[in-house]
């Protein structure tokens, strides 16, 4: 029974890691495409997302089975709960990669606008956040996870800057409107990507330290 | 939070064999305290110290157990057991008595003889133990001729009849089927309004479901005592965590 | 798996045959065990039935040579004797048994248990001689009292040991249940433990009484026998067993016949006693 349970938990972890590596690869592909302007790289991102979706369903079933059959408690329970949450976040990251790839296809040739807006910088930061969040999960490394959470502010700030920059561009010349709109949406997506990475890191901390750190700053500020 | 029983530095022995080591626990009033731990960890011995049944089987104790501030190790055990009732692992209704008499016997043998006084108490206790509707038409049937789950509820009714303040339960559902177990658990939840309950259980899910506080015993020592949700989500002690996760030994 | 597993082989048949032989042997043994009983019933009934009429129960014995008459005095005498015996043996036996099982886990209990076993092994005639020496001699005459006491002593070990065993069968959890309700130990023993063991104890009492009713030897020195009507416990008293003894060895055909009838009546009496106990101890509740 104990061995059976350990086996199920290992299977769940393995599924999550496999899913995470696909998502990581997808994100890397679209951001490299954005950076290099090589739109060809975006091909296959959408079809690969089906695999991510399949893992999403698989992991949900695995978690459900573990809860139903073994009624885990303490750290085992926290692992399953975080697995459900991380799974959800990874699936969203996959969707976001698809979304970014579509924007890259449409605005990838606007090299100067891309370079000036610093969107690549933001994208790379978000990407490394996601990568670190996944690594922290693989290694149960709460310190790395805390770094991920801390980086989120930087991405938020960049998002605001890029937004102002692109709005200014549009105001200056209406030729930029279409490309800028694509880039604003892309920037918004990258910001979401960083948010999901943060969520993953927070769930890792919940699993390892039994502490809920999500929304902590906001709640502290509001006095709750 | 009001403390009903305060155990201070309790050691318990069987002959020269020390089975409980320096246990100190405060048991809060009108709450359910669950005691969990592997077989032989001393959890049954512990609750049997609380109504001095430990000495019935030849055990001895050292230390203080205060019931409402009064050291119960120095009071008369017969008087104590009227205040601290006990429900056992195996349902043990008196087979030579009817259902009615099973509940009434504690009253009668404690000096209440008036039938007019006894009947309403029996009815009240059977209602409290959620058995009334099932047995009201067969109160003269033998206490041994109802199902195991009903027998256990009869034993609870019998305990309630003496009007105790504390109820000790030694694995009260371990011999019962799941539906009867659920009924007993519901009952415990109901009873804690009026009584302080200490329950020993092997079934960790049961401890999680019924109790407000959980104490983990291991090798005659109290390893951890905390709110039940804390014990089952994030216990402080590694041994406790391993035990509740089923990774013990 | 090869299906050869299911094929019966030599060992299979050997086991079956052995099993059959052993079963048959036990059946034959069981049959043999009931043969004496059947014979006893056959002889007592066929020979005793001749005199089994109302007279036998209500009339007094006739002098030698006159046929007919009954044994009213002996029937009543036997009842009085086992009554006295029971009055002594039952309370002493039950209380001793209770002591041994509930409180007797010490040296004294061990000694008492040992002596009770010894007592049960002492031949009844020895008990009779002792009663003779201790009661008949000082009182200077035979008496129903002396006979009753001798029978009472004979009942004690049976009742004691059955009581002890029956009380031991009462689960410990019932005692604990009683104590946990705040019932003092003596009350728990009396109203829960003894009450639960009641049926078994009654069986022990019945065995003791039956054995006493069938005793002859100790009565020869104590109650002696009486050809007349007497219910005084200070006087010699008649009993069925002594009559059987006297009449069976007498040369008169008529008395021999009456001895058979007395034996039949004794068996009926004990059966009646047994039936009575069944009715008394019949559970108020149907068990399962």
Q: Residues C54-91: pLDDT tens digits? A: 888 888 888 777 777 788 889 999 999 999 999 999 99
Tell me the β-bridge partners of C226: none
Percent of chain A beyond pLDDT 90?
A: 74
Q: Best residue in B49, B96, B103, B106 to probe C by mutation, most C CBs within 10 Å?
A: B96
Contact present, B65 and B27 (Cβ < 8 Å): no
Which 8-state DSSP code applies to residue C60?
A: P
In a domain, A101, yes or no: yes
> Closest-CA residue in chain B for A3?
B247
The C-alpha angle with vertex C232 and arms to C227 and C237, in degrees rounded to 5, equals 35
Length of chain B: 249
Closest C-alpha among A14, B139, B212 to residue C284? B139
Q: Best residue in A7, A75, A80 to probe B by mutation, most B CBs within 10 Å?
A: A75
Residue A211 to chain B, least CA–CA distance (Å) = 9
Contact present, C120 and C96 (Cβ < 8 Å): no
* pLDDT category of residue C5 using cuts at 50, 70 and 90: low
Contact present, B213 and B31 (Cβ < 8 Å): yes
CATH number, position A56: 1.20.58.220
Give CA–CA dist A63/A13, Å, rounded.
10
Q: What is the ipTM of this complex?
A: 0.88
Q: What is the 3-state secondary structure (H, E, C) of B145-208?
A: CCCHHHHHHHHHHHHHHCCCCEEEEECCCCCCCHHHHHHHHHHHHHHCCCCEEEEECCCHHHHH
Reported as a single tens digit per residue, the pLDDT across C94-111 is 999 999 998 888 899 999
List phi, psi (to 5°) of B131.
-115, -20
Among positive and negative, which fits the CA dihedral B227, B232, B236, B238? Answer: positive
pLDDT at C284 over 90: no
Tell me the β-bridge partners of B35: B200, B215
HSE, side-chain direction, 13 A CA sphere, residue C110: 3
The alpha carbon of residue B210 and the mean position of all alpha carbons in its chain are separated, in whole angstroms, by 13
State residue C288's pLDDT score.
Answer: 37
Reported as a single tens digit per residue, the pLDDT across B16-71 is 899 999 999 999 999 999 999 998 899 999 999 999 999 888 889 999 999 999 99
Averaged pLDDT for residues A24-33: 94
Averaged pLDDT for residues C205-209: 92
In a domain, A221, yes or no: no
In a domain, A224, yes or no: no
Give CA–CA dist B150/B187, Å, rounded.
12
Task: Give the closest of C173, C188, C195 to B92, CB-based.
Answer: C173
Give CA–CA dist C148/C77, Å, rounded.
10
pLDDT at B249 over 70: no
State residue B212's pLDDT score.
Answer: 94
List phi, psi (to 5°) of B27.
-105, 115
Residue with tokens 């599924």: A15
pLDDT at A94 over 80: yes
The alpha carbon of residue A186 and the mean position of all alpha carbons in its chain are separated, in whole angstroms, by 14
Tell me the β-bridge partners of B198: B33, B168
Average pLDDT, chain B: 91
Least confident of B15-29, B213-227, C271-285: C271-285
State residue B63's pLDDT score.
Answer: 92
State residue C2's pLDDT score.
Answer: 52
Task: Give the closest of B81, B95, B98 to C179, CB-based.
Answer: B81
Give CA–CA dist B180/A157, Å, rounded.
60
> Closest-CA residue in chain C for B99?
C285
Averaged pLDDT for residues C8-19: 88
Percent of chain C beyond pLDDT 90?
A: 45
Contact present, C243 and C71 (Cβ < 8 Å): yes
pLDDT at B7 over 90: yes
State residue C4's pLDDT score.
Answer: 57
Task: Give the closest of B56, B95, B144 to C179, CB-based.
Answer: B56
Residues of B in contact with A5 (CB under 8 A): 246
Reported as a single tens digit per residue, the pLDDT across C185-205 is 888 998 889 988 988 899 899
pLDDT at A100 over 90: yes
- Residue A119's domain comprises 2-215
Domain count, chain A: 1
Task: Compare A25 and C103 and report the one with higher pLDDT.
Answer: A25
Q: Best residue in B47, B92, B135 to probe C by mutation, most C CBs within 10 Å?
A: B92
State residue C224's pLDDT score.
Answer: 82
Residue C172 to chain B, least CA–CA distance (Å) = 10
Among A133-147, B235-249, C225-239, the range with the most confident prediction by mean pLDDT is A133-147
The C-alpha angle with vertex A126 and arms to A122 and A127, in degrees rounded to 5, equals 115
Contact present, C188 and C103 (Cβ < 8 Å): no
Task: Compare B181 and C282 and report the one with higher pLDDT.
Answer: B181
DSSP-assigned letters across all residues of C135-179: IIHHHTS--HHHHHHHHHHHHHHHHHHHHHHHHHHS-HHHHHHHH
Reported as a single tens digit per residue, the pLDDT across A120-174 is 999 999 999 999 999 999 999 999 999 999 999 999 999 999 999 999 999 998 8
Decide if domain B3-244 falls under CATH 3.40.50.300: yes
* pLDDT category of residue C234 using cuts at 50, 70 and 90: confident
In a domain, A133, yes or no: yes
SS3 C230: coil
Interface of B with C in 34-93 (CB under 8 A): 51, 53, 56, 78-82, 85-86, 88, 90, 92
Beta carbons within 8 Å of C227's beta carbon, 6+ residues apart: C61, C73, C238
* pLDDT category of residue B218 using cuts at 50, 70 and 90: very high
**Cβ distance of B245 and A78 shorter than 8 Å:** no
Give CA–CA dist A168/A176, Å, rounded.
10
SS3 C125: helix
State residue C3's pLDDT score.
Answer: 56
Pairing of strands B17-28, B84-87: unpaired
Averaged pLDDT for residues C147-171: 93
- Which tokens belong to B214? 């959980």
State residue B165's pLDDT score.
Answer: 94
In a domain, A92, yes or no: yes
Pairs of CB atoms within 8 A across B/C: 80
Average pLDDT, chain C: 88
Closest C-alpha among C243, C45, C191, C219 to residue B96? C191
Give CA–CA dist C264/C249, Å, rounded.
17
Give CA–CA dist A126/A186, Å, rounded.
12
Residue A72 to chain B, least CA–CA distance (Å) = 7
State residue C287's pLDDT score.
Answer: 45
Least confident of A18-22, A163-167, C229-233: C229-233
Give CA–CA dist C97/C169, Å, rounded.
13
Contacts within 8 Å (CB) and 24+ apart, A206-212: A206/A78, A206/A81, A206/A82, A207/A75, A207/A78, A207/A79, A207/A81, A207/A82, A207/A140, A208/A140, A208/A142, A209/A142, A210/A75, A210/A78, A210/B233, A210/B234
DSSP-assigned letters across all residues of chain B: --EEEEEEEEEEEETTEEEEEEEEEEEETT-EEEEE-STTSSHHHHHHHHTT-GGGGTEEEEEEEEETTEEGGGS-HHHHHHHEEEE-SS----TTSBHHHHHHHHHHHTT---HHHHHHHHHHHHHHTT-HHHHTT-TTSBTTSS-HHHHHHHHHHHHHHT--SEEEEESTTTTS-HHHHHHHHHHHHHHTTTSEEEEE-S-HHHHHHH-SEEEEEETTEEEEEEEHHHHHH--SSHHHHHHHTT---
Cα dist. C282→B148, C135, C278 in Å?
Answer: 24, 39, 6
Order across the sheet with B196-200: list the strands: B84-87, B166-170, B196-200, B32-36, B213-218, B221-227
Averaged pLDDT for residues B224-231: 93
Which conformational region is residue C5 in: left (phi greater than 0), alpha (psi within -120 to 50 degrees), or beta? alpha
In a domain, A222, yes or no: no
Order across the sheet with B59-67: list the strands: B17-28, B3-14, B59-67, B70-71
- Which tokens belong to C214? 């069938």
Reported as a single tens digit per residue, the pLDDT across B110-141 is 778 888 889 999 999 999 888 999 999 999 88
Give CA–CA dist C163/C198, Å, rounded.
9
Give CA–CA dist A28/A124, Å, rounded.
9
State residue C285's pLDDT score.
Answer: 60
pLDDT at C222 over 60: yes
State residue C30's pLDDT score.
Answer: 95
Pairing of strands B17-28, B3-14: antiparallel
Closest C-alpha among C176, C179, C177, C174 to residue C193? C174
């Amino acid at each position: 029974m104990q061995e059976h349970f350990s086996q199920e938990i290992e299977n769940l972890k393995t599924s999550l890691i496999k899913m995470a590596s696909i998502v990581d690869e997808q994100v890397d592909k679209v951001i490299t495409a954005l950076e290099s302007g090589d739109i060809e790289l975006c091909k296959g991102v959408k079809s690969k997302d089906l695999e991510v979706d399949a893992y999403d369903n698989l992991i949900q079933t695995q978690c459900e089975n573990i809860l139903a059959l073994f009624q885990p408690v303490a750290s085992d329970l926290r692992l399953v709960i975080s697995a459900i949450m991380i799974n959800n976040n990874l699936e969203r990251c996959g969707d976001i990669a698809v979304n970014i790839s579509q924007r890259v296809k449409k605005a990838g040739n606007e090299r100067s606008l891309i370079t000036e807006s610093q969107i690549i910088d933001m994208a790379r930061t978000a990407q490394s956040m996601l990568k670190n969040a996944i690594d922290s999960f693989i290694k149960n490394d709460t310190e790395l996870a805390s770094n991920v959470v801390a980086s989120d502010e930087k991405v938020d700030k960049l998002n605001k800057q890029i937004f102002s920059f692109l709005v200014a561009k549009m105001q200056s010349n209406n030729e930029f409107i279409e490309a800028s709109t694509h880039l604003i949406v892309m920037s918004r997506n990258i910001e979401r990507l960083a948010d999901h990475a943060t969520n993953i890191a927070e769930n890792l901390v919940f699993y390892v330290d039994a502490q809920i750190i999500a929304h902590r700053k906001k709640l502290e500020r509001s006095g709750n | 939070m009001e403390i009903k029983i305060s155990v201070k530095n309790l050691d318990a022995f069987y002959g020269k064999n020390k089975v409980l080591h320096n246990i100190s626990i405060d048991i809060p009033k009108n709450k359910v305290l669950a005691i969990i731990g592997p077989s032989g960890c001393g959890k049954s011995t512990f609750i049997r110290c609380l109504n001095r049944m430990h000495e019935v089987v030849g055990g001895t104790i050292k230390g203080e157990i205060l019931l409402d501030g009064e050291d119960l190790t120095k009071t008369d055990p017969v008087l104590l057991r009227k205040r601290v009732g006990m429900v056992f692992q195996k349902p043990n209704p008196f087979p030579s008595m009817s259902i009615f008499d099973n509940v009434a016997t504690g009253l009668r043998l404690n000096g209440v003889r008036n039938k007019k006084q006894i009947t309403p108490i029996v009815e009240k206790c059977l209602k409290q133990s959620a058995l009334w509707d099932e047995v009201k038409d067969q109160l003269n049937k033998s206490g041994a001729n109802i199902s195991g789950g009903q027998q256990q509820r009869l034993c609870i009714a019998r305990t309630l009849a003496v009007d105790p303040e504390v109820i000790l339960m030694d694995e009260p559902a371990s011999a019962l089927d799941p539906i009867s177990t659920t009924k007993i658990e519901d009952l415990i939840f109901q009873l804690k309004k009026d009584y302080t309950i200490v329950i020993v259980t092997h079934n960790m899910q049961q401890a999680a479901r019924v109790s407000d506080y959980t104490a983990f015993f291991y090798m005659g020592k109290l390893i951890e005592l905390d709110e039940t949700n804390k014990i089952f989500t994030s216990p402080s002690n590694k041994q406790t965590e391993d035990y509740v996760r089923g990774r013990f030994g | 798996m090869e299906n050869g597993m299911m094929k019966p082989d030599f060992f299979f048949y050997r086991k079956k045959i052995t099993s059959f032989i052993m079963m048959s042997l036990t059946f034959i043994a069981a049959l043999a065990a009931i043969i004496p009983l059947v014979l006893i019933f056959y002889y007592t009934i066929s020979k005793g039935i001749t005199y089994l009429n109302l007279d036998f129960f209500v009339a007094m014995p006739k002098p030698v040579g006159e046929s007919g008459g009954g044994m009213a005095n002996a029937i009543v005498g036997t009842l009085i004797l086992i009554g006295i015996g029971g009055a002594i043996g039952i309370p002493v036996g039950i209380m001793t048994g209770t002591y041994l099982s509930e409180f007797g886990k010490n040296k004294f209990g061990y000694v008492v248990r040992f002596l009770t076993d010894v007592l049960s092994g002492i031949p009844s005639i020895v008990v009779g001689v002792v009663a003779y020496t201790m009661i008949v001699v000082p009182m200077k005459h035979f008496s129903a009292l002396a006979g009753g006491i001798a029978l009472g002593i004979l009942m004690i070990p049976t009742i004691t040991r059955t009581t002890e065993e029956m009380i031991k069968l009462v689960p410990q959890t019932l005692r604990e249940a009683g104590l946990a309700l705040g019932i003092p130990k003596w009350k728990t023993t009396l109203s829960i433990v003894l009450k639960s063991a009641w049926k078994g104890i009654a069986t022990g009492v019945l065995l003791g009484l039956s054995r006493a009713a069938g005793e002859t030897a100790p009565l020869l020195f104590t109650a002696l026998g009486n050809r007349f009507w007497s219910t005084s416990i200070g006087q010699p008293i008649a009993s069925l067993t002594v009559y059987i003894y006297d009449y069976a060895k007498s040369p008169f055909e008529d008395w021999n016949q009456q001895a058979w009838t007395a034996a039949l009546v004794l068996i009926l009496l004990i059966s009646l006693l047994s039936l009575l106990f069944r009715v008394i101890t019949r559970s108020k509740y149907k068990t399962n």
